[in-house]
Amino acid sequence: MNNNQLRHSSHSWGVKRRDGGMLLKKEIEGNRIILRRGAVGNDRDGTPLLINGKGEAYRVNDTAISLWNMCNGITFDDLLLEVLRISSGDEDDVKKSLEQMIRQFHKISMIEVKEMK
């Protein structure tokens, strides 16, 4: 199992950043839905894990788990509205952080982005 270290961003959402294979902004915005893939688990010490379909586990924090759970067929715009509703952050900062997190989830195969029908 591949355990990556927790990465804290300014919003404390964190999967360790990995380069390459990023979704483009146009691929997550607009008429597309975000669907979660994989599962949630816990490490031996109780740290939350996101586990993709290949069995690769990523150490994350509770905020990342909450965000991943929100990816249940929601559009990026609706996800942004939900996060803004519970956040005290600046809208532009929250949007940038959310875009980055969605790209990271996609990179580690924890979400799928599909065209809405």
Q: How do residues 40-63 score in pLDDT, each as one tens digit?
A: 999 999 999 999 999 999 999 999
Task: Report CA-CA distances (Å) from 40 to 49, 59, 87, 91.
Answer: 6, 10, 23, 28
36 SS3 class: strand
CATH number for the region 25-115 comes to 3.90.930
Give the pLDDT score at 53.
95
DSSP 48: E
pTM (2 decimals)?
Answer: 0.74
Q: What is the mean pLDDT of residues 80-86?
A: 94
Predicted confidence (pLDDT) at residue 69 exceeds the cutoff of 60:
yes
Question: Which residues have a Cβ under 8 Å from the Cβ of 79 and sit 6 or more positions away?
Answer: 34, 70, 71, 98, 102
Give the pLDDT score at 7.
36
